[in-house]
Chain A
Amino acid sequence: MEQAALAPAVFVPSSRDRATMVVTAIAVAALAMVPWAADGGPSALLRAVNGSTALWPTLAAALVALICSLREFDRGTATAAGFAVVWTFGAALAEGAAGPSFGAGAGIALTALTVALSRAIARRGVFNGDATIATIVVVIATLLVIFIFFPVAKALLAAGFDAQGRFAPQLALQRLLTEDIWGLGCFGGGTNCGVAINSAMLATIVGVTSTLLGLVFALVVQRGGQRYAGVLKLMSILPIVTPPFVIALALVVLFGRTGIVTGWLDAWFGIPRSRWIYGLPGVTLAQLLTFSPIAFMILYGALAAISPAMEEAAQTLRASRARVFRTVTWPLLRPALANAFLLSFVESLADFGNPIVLAGNFEVLSTKIFFAVAGAQNDPGRAAALAMVLLGLTLLAFWLQQRWMGRLSYVTVTGKGDGGTPGKLPRPLWYGCFGIAGTWMFFMLVCYAIILVGGFVKDIGRGDMALTLHHFAQGFGMDFGSRGTLFVGSAWDSLFTTIEVATVSAPLTALVGLLAAYVITRHRFVGRRAFEFLTMVSFAIPGTVIGVSYIVAFNVAPLELTGGMAILVLCFVFRNMPVGVRAGVAALAQIDKSLDEASSTLRASTLRTLREIVLPLLRPAIFTTLIFSFTHAMTAVSAVIFLASAKYNLATVYVINRVEAGEYPLAIAYSTVLIFVMLGVLFGMQRLVGDARLGRRAAQPMLVTGH
C-alpha cells in the first residue's frame, strides 16, 4: 500500500489567534510598567536597566515571544515564553534571599507567559489543538509544581544541609538513622521507643481497631434496616465538622487527672488519680473516636454494594446464616477492609490535633516535626529528616493500598439492580455487634455532650459545673457602645480570619479541582496520566510535611509568602484540590460524553461547553467540593499551625494555644462555636443542593476525610 506516503495530519491553525498576541503583549507590558517585586519599586525593565542582569534574558525572551506571536510563528512563541518562565524562576531561585520577592509585575508577566506557552503549543497540535485545554493543563501543572513539589523537595533537601547552609550528605544519614527515630527501647523493657516506631505502632493499632469498629457499625446499620439511618447520617457528618482536637479535649475532661470519670473512680472505688490518658492509650482512644466513622463509611458502602442476590443464592444452596457470612459476605468485604485499614493508618500517621493535646511523653512524628521547627529547637534539618520518615511511611501505605486494591477488587454491582433484602446476620454476631456499637456510640455521644456543655459551665475540667457565659463573653464578647458594635472578644480575630480564608479558598479549590477533573476525564492528551497523578499526589502528603515545607520554601525570595494570608489560602487550595478532582471525576463519569460532543457540533467553543453544559451538570459536585474545602479550611491544624501568624491567626491554632495554656473552657467554647458554624454552612449548602439536584444525576455521597 501507499499508506506510508500519506502525510500525517499537521495542525495548521485555521484562524488568526489574537488571544496569544494579547497575552504576550500583557506580559511585555507588565515587565515594562508594573512593579516587579512584592514591595513595589521599579518594573522589571527599570531594574534591568539599573543593573539586574538576571532580568535581561527574561525581557529578551518575552520580547521574542511577542514578535513571534505577532508573526504567528508558534514554535518561536512557545520556545521563547517557555524559556522566559523557566529562566526567571531559575535565576530568582538561584539568587534566593538576595533577590527581590515576586510581586504583581512578576505574577502577571509569568502567568501571561505561561498562558502564551500553552496556547502556542496547542497551535502546534499538542492537546489536540485545543488552546483552552492546553491552558488549563499547563497552568494547573505549573501551580502544582510550584506549590507542592517545589516546597516539599526543598524542605526534604534541608536534611542534607548543616546549620550554616553547607551541603552535607552524611549529615542527612546521621539525622535519619538516630535512636530518636528508630529506637526499640520500649520493647526491651527500656524507656522510650523511637518516634517512627511510636507512630507506626499507634497507626497500626488505630488502623486495625477502627476498621473493626467500623465493620461492627456497618453491619448493625446496614443489616439493621431503616431504623439506624440516623446513625449513618450522623457518622457521615461528624468527621466533617469536628475540629481534630475536640475529641482529645473531651477525653481530658473525662479522664484527665481532675477529670469527671477519674473523680468518680477515685471517690467510689478508691482508684487513685493518674495521668494515664496522656500517652499511647489516650491518643489511641481519641484517634479511634475520630477515625472510626471514616472506616464505617467505607465499609458501609462496601456492604451495601454486595448484592443481596449473592447471599440469597448461598441460602438456597442450603448454607446457614453463619456459613453465608463466613463464605460470601466476609470474603467480599476484604478489599474494603484493607482500604479502611490503610486509610485509618494514614490518618493516624498524619493526625496532629489529638497527639498535641494528649501525647505527653509519647512522641509521634507529626508533633515532633512541629517542635523541631517551632519553639526553641528551630532545626529545619532535623524536621526535614523526620518529614522524610513520615512521608515515607505514608507513601508506603498508599502504595500498598494501590497494589492490594488492584488485585483484590471484586465488582459485585452490576448494571441491573437485583431485588431482595440484605441477609440477616448470624445471631451471636448480631448481638455482639449491637452491644459494641451501642457502647461505642454512647461513648461518642458523651464526648460530644461534654463539648456542648463544657462551654457553658465554669470549669468542666475540674468538675466545677456552675453555669456561666463567661467563656463565650471572653472569646466572643461584643460591645454595643456609642461608637458602634465592637468585637471585643479575644477569639473574634481568628474566627474572622478563618472564615475569610475558608470563604476565599473554597471556590478556588472547587474551580481548580473540577477543571482538572474535566480535562482528565474528557480529553485525551499526551501526559494525561502524569497530570492525573500530579493532581492527586498532595492527598498523600501529611499536613505537617506540607506545613514545614511551606515554611522552608516560602519564607525567602522569590516567593516570600509567610506571615500573610495568601499562604494560608494557597495551602488550603492545593491540599484540598484532590477532593475536588475526585468529586469531579465521579460526577463527570455520570455525565455522558456525547453531551460535550453535541455541544461542540452545535458550534459551541470549549469555553461555552464548559460554561453551559459541564458546569451546570456538575452542580452537586461543586457543592460537595465547596462544603468540603470550606469545613476543612476551618478544621485543619497540621499544616496551618506552621503558617498562621499573629496577624492572620486561625481558629484551630488559637484553640490549640488555649489548650497549651490550660484554658480548657475557652477552648471548648470555641470548639462549640466552630462546630455550629460548620453545621450551619453544611445544612445551608445542602438545602441549596437539594433544589439543584437533577433527578437521577444525584451525585454519590462523597467520603470526605480530614487530616
Chain B
Amino acid sequence: MNSTTGGVVFERVTKKYGDVTAVDDVSFHVAQGELVTLLGPSGCGKTTTLRMVAGLEAVSGGRVLIGGTDVTLRAANERDVSMVFQSYALFPHMSVLENTCYGPLSMRTDRAKARAMARAKLAMLGLSEYEARLPSELSGGQQQRVAVARSLVLEPAVLLFDEPLSNLDAKLRRRVREEIRDLQQSLSLTVLYVTHDQEEALAVSDHIIVMDQGRIAQQGTPDDLYEKPQSRFLADFIGDANLVDGELRVDTNGASFVAGGVAVPVRAGAMASGPATLAIRPQRLRVVDAAQGLLPGACRRASYLGSRIEYIVATAWGELLVFDPDARHTRRRDDAVGIAFDPDAVIVLPR
C-alpha cells in the first residue's frame, strides 16, 4: 500500500480566526484503507481539521493532499471527499432516494444511472424499503444510515465522519459503530473520523490522533495510546487513570517513585531523577487487607456496579480509584486496607 498516493496528507496546516489559532501546525496522514480518528476534548480543533479536509474551511497555512493531489485551494465541491455530518444534514424536503441521488446528479450523471447507484448503496445498508420516505419519517438510526449511504454513493477517495454517533442513544451507538467499522473494513474505505468519545475511538480506529488546544498531543494505535501515554493529558483523557505527582529517583539499584513519604519501585525507562507523575489505571490496582500491599489506606467509598466494585481509597498519595472485578468480596466504608500493584503496570511521566 503506497500511503503517499492514496489517502489524505495533511501537511503543516494552520487555521486562524483573527488572533485565535484553532489549528496550529498540524501534520498527519491517513493511509488508504485505514480508519483514522481525530480525538480530543471540545474546542481542541478536531472538527476544524476535518472541515479543512472537506474544504468547508479554508486553511490559513499549509497543504492538504487527497489521493496525491494538492487540493488546498479547491472548494468543497471540487474535492473527492464525502462527509457524514453530526446532524446527518439530510435534506428534509427530499425522499431518501432523492437524498442519495443528490451527489451523482451534482456530477451530471444521468438520472437513471444516478438512481441505480443510489439504490445499490441503499440496498447495501438495508434501506431499500425506505427509499420513498422523507427523512422525518425515519428513526435516528435509519437517518444515520441514509447519511452514510448518501456519502458512499460517489465512492469518494476519503470518507469523513463528524461525530456520527452523538445523536444516537447509548445502545444504538455501540451497534452503529460496529456497523461503520465492518463497512469500512469490507469496502476498505479510507476514513477520517472525529469524536470526543475515547471509548468510541478505541473501538473503531486503526490509528488515533489525539488533539489538544489545536495541536496533536499524541498519535498511535489504540493500545499504544492506552498503554503508553506520553503525557499527563493523554493518560487522563484516554481511559481512567489515577495521577500522582511526586519525584522519580534513579540510582544504580533501579528506579523508585516517591510521593507522600512512600516510595515504590517503578520502571523508569530512559528518564532521569526529578519531578514526575505516576499514572495508574484503576483496574491495575488491587485492594488488599490492611498491612499488605505497597500503600496503606482507608476505604472511603465502595460502589457496587455488578461487573465490578469501584473503590475510592484514601492514601498518602491522595484518593485513588480502584476497580475490583471480584464483586463478591466487599469492603466497607472506613475499613483499613492496603493497595497493591505491579511495578510493570504503572506509567511514569515527566512532570
Contacts and interface: CB of A to CB of B under 8 A. Distances in A.
Interface of A: 1, 3, 6-12, 14, 128-130, 592, 594-595, 597-605, 608, 612-613, 616-617, 694-697
A530 to B, nearest CB: 17
Contacts of B93: 616-617, 694
A129 B58 CA distance: 10
B73 interface: yes
24 contacts: A3-B24, A8-B61, A9-B58, A9-B59, A9-B61, A9-B62, A10-B73, A12-B73, A14-B73, A129-B75, A592-B89, A595-B91, A595-B92, A597-B56, A599-B91, A600-B75, A601-B81, A601-B160, A602-B77, A602-B151, A603-B78, A604-B106, A612-B102, A697-B92
State the 8 A-B residue pairs at the shortest beta-carbon distance, nearest first.
Answer: A6-B61, A598-B89, A594-B89, A602-B103, A603-B106, A600-B76, A604-B106, A594-B85
A597 B85 contact: yes
Nearest to B86: A594
Contacts of B106: 599, 602-605, 608
Contacts of A697: 92
| Number of chain B interface residues as a range | 35 or more
B97 to A, nearest CB: 14
Contact of B77 (A3, A601, A695): A601
Contact of A602 (B24, B61, B82, B92): B82
B89 A595 contact: yes
A235 to B, nearest CB: 32
Interface in B132-167: 136, 150-151, 154, 160
B158 to A, nearest CB: 11
A697 B58 CA distance: 31
A697 B92 CA distance: 10
Given A617-B93, A697-B92, A601 B76 contact: yes
B73 A11 contact: yes
Given A594-B86, A598-B85, 13 more contacts: A600-B75, A600-B76, A601-B77, A601-B81, A601-B160, A603-B77, A603-B103, A605-B106, A613-B91, A616-B93, A617-B93, A694-B92, A696-B136
A594 B147 CA distance: 12
Contact of A597 (B14, B24, B83, B150): B83
Nearest to A695: B136
Nearest to B150: A602
A597 B78 contact: no
Interface in B168-213: none
Interface in B40-74: 54-56, 58-62, 72-74
Interface string B6-38: 000000101000000000110000000000000
A601 B14 contact: no
B270 interface: no
A616 B98 CA distance: 14
B87 interface: yes
B112 interface: no
Given A7-B61, A9-B59, A601-B82, A14 B74 contact: yes
Interface in B105-149: 106-107, 136
A1 B25 contact: yes
A510 to B, nearest CB: 18
B102 A599 contact: yes
Contact of B87 (A1, A592, A599, A696): A592
Nearest to A600: B76
A475 B60 CA distance: 68
B33 to A, nearest CB: 21
Contacts of A599: 91, 102, 106
B83 A598 contact: yes
Nearest to B76: A600
A695 B137 CA distance: 11
Contacts of A616: 93
Contact of B58 (A128, A595, A597): A128
B85 A603 contact: no
Contacts of B89: 592, 594-595, 597-598
A3 B87 contact: no
